[in-house]
A and B are shown apart, each in its own frame.
Chain A
Amino acid sequence: MKRLGVHLADALVDASAGRSDIWVIDGDLGDSYGLFDEEGRPRFSQFLQAGIAEQSMVAAAAGLATTGKRPWVFSFSAFLCHRAADQIRTCVAHQQLPVVLVGSHAGAATGPNGSSHASLGDLGVIGSIGGIAQWAPADLLDVRAAVADLLATSHPAYIRLSREPSAVLPLGPGPIRTNGLSGEVVLLSTGFASHWAAEAVSELSRRGHPVPWAHIASLSVSMLRSFLELHPRMSVAIVVEDHRVVGGLADALRRLAPPRLFVQGLGWPAGWHGESGSIDELRQAHGLDLAALIRCIEYWQDRGPR
């Protein structure tokens, strides 16, 4: 298995063949997400190494975009979204320039790095700026879909990618990827947390308590509306995400949810900033491990319609 950042670099290499408008800009971490070949050379003909300077990097990308180029800016999510937030706001979002921001190592999985490298509120930061399409791919299929969509359109975008290598979800392709079930209690997930959701769905199915499940990678309003339309009987949506409970997918769904729908958010605690450790240890410590997810889903299944 590869990291999704490497999958994205692979997809972008393919897509940029023969195109001189695609630029890749790196914040000195490119070996962590596949921007260099085995000889240490950039895999892109139009490449800018910006150094350890996220704010300059984003503003430079915006400048490139004004000349008709299509910059893709790479760094770790924590540094990209937080340090360069003002450049993202004023240089990119306000001017609606087609800059794609790629934040690797998003979420709580930092391996040994710890809190400074965790990116638990990036969707909240980018979402509150507004005017930036947000993507949280879970696997190779999502990454390819995101790259294709963002090359076919020309608006600002942010893609968050987990550090963890990821397999393909047990779901078919599509804008909304589902297990085909519907009901009153529905599981919705995005990004790396969709692999946690897959574990829970599998275990509940084995126990004879199948749960409807939908995964989305594009976090647009239209996608959430489509999700709501897909489940007209839904009274409880349990949202699982590798993000703080504040500012992420659950909050976005709450803003659109009809009064009869309760949104149960399962994410990292609002006051927690991350720490060193394996993702399994972190999930267990904060109530996001498999047993905790199943307890929550079964609670709502047992409770019946609201």
Chain B
Amino acid sequence: MPNKPDHPSAAAEEPDPFAPAIARHVRRLVLESLHANGGGHFGGCGSCVELLLALFGSRPLACREGEGDRLLLSKGHASMTLYAILSLLGAKPLPLERFASFGSPLQGHPDKNHLPALDFSFGSLGQGVAAGIGMALGVQSRGEHVWVVLGDGECQEGMVWESAMLAARYRLSNLHVIVDANGEQECGWGHEPSFDQRPVPDDVAKWAAFGWRTSERDGHDPSLLAQWIDEVAGPGATGPSVLLARTRKSLAPSGPASRFRRHHTALSSSEFERMREELAHSELSTAGARSR
């Protein structure tokens, strides 16, 4: 198992997914790779960095180790964050510099046909929970778990709730959803200030009403995230379970101000340099970290 914050004796040969320097390093890799490709989903990539790192740090994942739990990045537009983490922590580095270019294994949205290590292809929003139900049923007897990372805007798709109802009916205790609740979406209702601006108002109550074991935590706190993962994957846990992870839709403190640009944009040189500076000092501190 990869080391956790409370495992100080863990081997020093691998980067520690829970070390703050790793999260900054991942953010910098995402920033540089998206910028080199002409732009991308900086905000949504930034909001799920710690969520994905916590899963990598807490669970054996098939996409990393060839066997273990399934990880479904239903909010596929955050693919670059997954690629950066897989490149750092996986069996071999990935060609991050070729992100979303022709012939690259790293397609703009996760594509299993191009990167077979992935558990599923995504990019059309809303499909993760349903795919997760099938996988959870299939691996139940092996004691494996399925982790689905959703965006909160994505939860507007009707099939998310069709699937939520079905998973609860079958009491799938090995199916877990983490909602990257950054509170935004591409357009939303910012043009109507009197409207509720949350992508899914009262999300905790909604998931609970659909029969899910529901929690709400800071989505950038590795310890809290790891604690939740241990709880819901532990023996005797009931489910399905969902974590409403409160996050910020940004890769660095000074991301673009416009709501459209926080979702997807191309950065100016000065914006890029400023964000890059903010993510400085992110070199891996762990001895033996894989050279890139």
Q: A116 with B158: in contact, given A31-B186, A40-B191, A276-B107 (CB under 8 Å)?
A: no
Contacts of B40 in A (CB 8 A): 112
Beta-carbon contact of A36 and B191 below 8 Å: yes
Counting chain A CB atoms within 10 Å of each CB, which of B37, B38, B123, B153 scores highest? B123
Beta-carbon contact of A52 and B185 below 8 Å: yes
Beta-carbon contact of A83 and B124 below 8 Å: yes
Contacts of A41 in B (CB 8 A): 191
Residue in chain A with minimal CB distance to B153? A52
Chain B 214-255 against A: per-residue CB contact (8 Å), 1 yes, 0 no?
A: 000000000000000000000000000000000000000000
| Interface residue ranges of B90-130 to A (CB < 8 Å) | 99-104, 107-109, 111, 113-114, 121-126
Report how far A1 CA is from B227 CA in the complex, Å: 52
Beta-carbon contact of A116 and B101 below 8 Å: no
| Interface residue ranges of A256-293 to B (CB < 8 Å) | 273, 275-278, 281-282, 285
Partner of A117, one of B37, B109, B185, B260: B109
Beta-carbon contact of B111 and A115 below 8 Å: yes
Q: A285 with B102: in contact, given A28-B153, A40-B260, A114-B109 (CB under 8 Å)?
A: yes
Report how far A40 CA is from B122 CA in the complex, Å: 29
Interface of B is mostly: loop
Beta-carbon contact of A49 and B187 below 8 Å: yes
B170 at the interface (CB under 8 A from A): no
Report how far A29 CA is from B77 CA in the complex, Å: 14
Partner of A276, one of B100, B122, B199, B260: B100
Report how far A277 CA is from B106 CA in the complex, Å: 11
Partner of A112, one of B37, B153, B190: B37
Beta-carbon contact of B158 and A112 below 8 Å: no
A79 at the interface (CB under 8 A from B): yes
Beta-carbon contact of A116 and B122 below 8 Å: yes
Closest Cβ of chain B to A233, distance in Å, is 41
Report how far A28 CA is from B103 CA in the complex, Å: 29
Contacts of B100 in A (CB 8 A): 111-114, 276
Number of residues on chain B facing chain A (CB within 8 A): 39
Beta-carbon contact of A53 and B158 below 8 Å: yes
Beta-carbon contact of A49 and B189 below 8 Å: yes
Contacts of A114 in B (CB 8 A): 100, 107-109, 111, 123
Partner of A115, one of B38, B107, B157, B189: B107
Residue in chain A with minimal CB distance to B114? A275
Chain B 181-221 against A: per-residue CB contact (8 Å), 1 yes, 0 no?
A: 00001111111100000010000000000000000000000
Contacts of A31 in B (CB 8 A): 186-187, 260
Report how far A72 CA is from B189 CA in the complex, Å: 18
Contacts of B141 in A (CB 8 A): none
A51 at the interface (CB under 8 A from B): yes
Contacts of A276 in B (CB 8 A): 100-102, 104, 107-108
Contacts of B171 in A (CB 8 A): none
Contacts of A281 in B (CB 8 A): 102-103
Contacts of A226 in B (CB 8 A): none
Contacts of B38 in A (CB 8 A): 112
B258 at the interface (CB under 8 A from A): yes
Report how far A51 CA is from B104 CA in the complex, Å: 31
Residue in chain A with minimal CB distance to B124? A116
Contacts of B190 in A (CB 8 A): 40
Contacts of A282 in B (CB 8 A): 102
B154 at the interface (CB under 8 A from A): yes
B140 at the interface (CB under 8 A from A): no
Q: A277 with B126: in contact, given A29-B187, A112-B38, A114-B111 (CB under 8 Å)?
A: no
Contacts of B154 in A (CB 8 A): 52
Closest Cβ of chain A to B244, distance in Å, is 18
B156 at the interface (CB under 8 A from A): yes
A78 at the interface (CB under 8 A from B): yes
Report how far A56 CA is from B101 CA in the complex, Å: 34
| Interface residue ranges of B139-156 to A (CB < 8 Å) | 153-154, 156
Q: Which 5 A-B pairs have the closest CB atoms?
A: A116-B123, A277-B102, A112-B100, A114-B107, A112-B108
Q: 28 pairs across A/B with beta carbons < 8 Å?
A: A26-B187, A28-B153, A28-B156, A28-B186, A29-B187, A30-B187, A40-B260, A41-B191, A42-B191, A47-B191, A49-B187, A49-B192, A51-B188, A52-B154, A52-B156, A55-B158, A110-B108, A112-B99, A112-B108, A114-B107, A114-B111, A115-B113, A116-B109, A116-B124, A273-B113, A275-B103, A276-B104, A277-B101
Given known contacts A281-B102, A281-B103, what 4 new A-B pairs fall within 8 Å (CB)? Answer: A51-B199, A52-B157, A55-B158, A112-B40
**A residues apposed to B, CB below 8 Å:** 26, 28-31, 36, 40-42, 47, 49, 51-53, 55-56, 78-79, 82-83, 110-117, 273, 275-278, 281-282, 285
**B residues apposed to A, CB below 8 Å:** 37-38, 40, 76, 99-104, 107-109, 111, 113-114, 121-126, 153-154, 156-158, 185-192, 199, 258-260
